[in-house]
Amino acid sequence: MSYSKMAIVLLQAAKAEEGDLIEVTSDGRTYQGILMPHHEFSGEDVIVIKQKSGYNIGVRLKMGATIKVLAKKEEKVKPSRHFVMDPALRTVSVLGTGGTIASFVDYRTGAVHPALSADDLISAVPEISEICNVKAKVLFSIFSENMDPEAWRAIARAVFNELKDGSDAVIIPHGTDTLAYTSAALSFMLEGLDRPVVLVGAQRSSDRPSSDSYTNLISAARFCIETAMPGVYVLMHGSISDTTAFVHKGTRVRKMHSSRRDAFKSINDSPVATVFFDGKIEVRHAPSVKGGGLVLKDSIERSVVLLQFYPGMDPAAFKQLMLSHKGVVIAGSGLGHVSSAMVNVLGEVVSKGVPVFMTTQCLGGSVNLNVYATGRDLINAGVVPLGDMLPETATVKLMWALGQTSSPEAVRELMTTDLRGEMSQRRGIDG
């Protein structure tokens, strides 16, 4: 949507351009800020400015409104800053995939841009150069909802190559919405890890005062260098305050809030470590390192469907959907239940050679099909319970398992075996 005629006249009369510091008076109120680009979701009589606080606001121009330019935008050329490797420091590869986490702010226009190189990253987070050497590259820059199994494979291959080339750790800036799917995929694809691979995101963009991108990146670098804990992890804020970051196991983590900075939680487990922003790191439980060396197992079968049971679910409507896939994960109610009608259809699906696995939509706790009659009926129908594995992790693991073998028995064995800490027989009172 373009500006209204009145807005155009006012902006032209003031000779205001994007990036200028302007003062807008409308309806008796005055605002100051950097003039931002007008986008399609703004009203035609609304101009957007970035205030000193870092937040954008829209100002509706009413009759009698005025615009005054306080300062013209500065045509600055970004200084060239070449990052020199320090032989005394260990090296961390940073693989950009998208999201706001590895972005920097162009304070001339207020726009946020991705950090495309090690130099960009050092400029945005200069303290990281005191912790480690940085090798940075952008694999792609996409919203995390557009991630798919092929993207997971590309990330896994890139991580594998960076570690084979000698990096001491890999940090992956990633959009938060589907971050847990990617962390699960990397956990299964990268076998025999002996160094840390940390996915890190941000709930607030770097142009906002409450941004968590800086502290999360620094914390990820510190965790990698100071602990060298092998495995795939997710690091995000541990509370709404700037005090701690939690390190979560890649197969046990879930985004549990749409916007809070501490949105990510370990489910049926506790964080493996806490990184305090004042410098301390507490490791709660370190994984054991299995021998054999790093192996890339990135074959994957994307023909898997995840279904959440709900009251009134029409089995007939989902039967063909399940039969058109090579594997099914159900998020059942409670201990892993579905309706009696759904049990019959699941039995038919299993009889056609499509494996069906049961998780619980409760998230906390475990599937147990031995308590009620419905559960025993599901067992008789051939549905396989997956204990306390998260539905999303189970979905990714099934894609991966089907990519490793075509044997139904082998797929079942893989799915019911704890490979990367994704399931457990016992849990603590806080897990």
pLDDT digits (tens, 9 = 90+) for 340-387: 999 999 999 999 999 999 999 999 999 999 999 999 999 999 999 999
pLDDT for res 185: 99
Using alpha carbons only, what angle is made at residue 276 by residues 272 and 279, rounded to the nearest 5 degrees? 120
Host H or E run for residue 89: none
Comparison of pLDDT for 242 and 365, the residue scoring more: 365
Active site residue 137: no
pLDDT for res 275: 95
Which of the following is catalytic: 97, 109, 176, 395?
176
pTM for the complete prediction?
0.84
pLDDT for res 430: 52
Range with lowest mean pLDDT among 237-246, 248-257, 324-333, 355-364:
237-246
Read off the DSSP letter of residue 337.
B
| 3-state SS record for 96-128 | ECCCCCCEEEECCCCEEEECCCHHHHHHHCHHH
Distance CA 354, CA 403 (A): 14
User: Which domains occur in the chain, in start order?
Assistant: 5-71 (2.30.30.520), 91-296 (3.40.50.1170), 304-415 (3.40.50.40)
Active site residue 20: no
Distance CA 296, CA 429 (A): 35
Using DSSP, state whether 33 is helix, strand or coil. Answer: strand
Q: b/e for 106-117, b at 16 or more Cβ within 10 A?
A: eeebbbbebbeb
Q: What is the mean pLDDT of residues 247-260?
A: 93
Q: Kindly tell me if the per-residue pLDDT of 90 is higher than 80.
A: yes
Comparison of pLDDT for 303 and 129, the residue scoring more: 303
Beta-carbon neighbour count of residue 4 at 10 Å?
14
Comparison of pLDDT for 58 and 239, the residue scoring more: 58
Cβ(414)–Cβ(401) below 8 Å? yes
Distance CA 356, CA 386 (A): 10
Active site residue 177: yes
Distance CA 177, CA 166 (A): 31
pLDDT digits (tens, 9 = 90+) for 98-120: 765 555 555 444 455 555 565 66
Which of the following is catalytic: 50, 73, 135, 255?
255
pLDDT digits (tens, 9 = 90+) for 20-70: 999 999 999 999 999 998 877 778 999 999 888 878 899 999 999 999 999
pLDDT for res 261: 78
pLDDT digits (tens, 9 = 90+) for 115-159: 556 566 667 788 888 999 999 888 988 888 999 999 999 999 999
Backbone angles phi, psi at 209, to 5 degrees: -60, -30
Which of the following is catalytic: 91, 97, 100, 359?
100
pLDDT for res 209: 47
Cβ(301)–Cβ(326) below 8 Å? yes
Active site residue 176: yes
Q: Kindly tell me if the per-residue pLDDT of 213 is higher than 50.
A: yes
Q: Kindly tell me if the per-residue pLDDT of 413 is higher than 60.
A: yes
Which of the following is catalytic: 106, 177, 319, 405?
177
pLDDT for res 132: 96
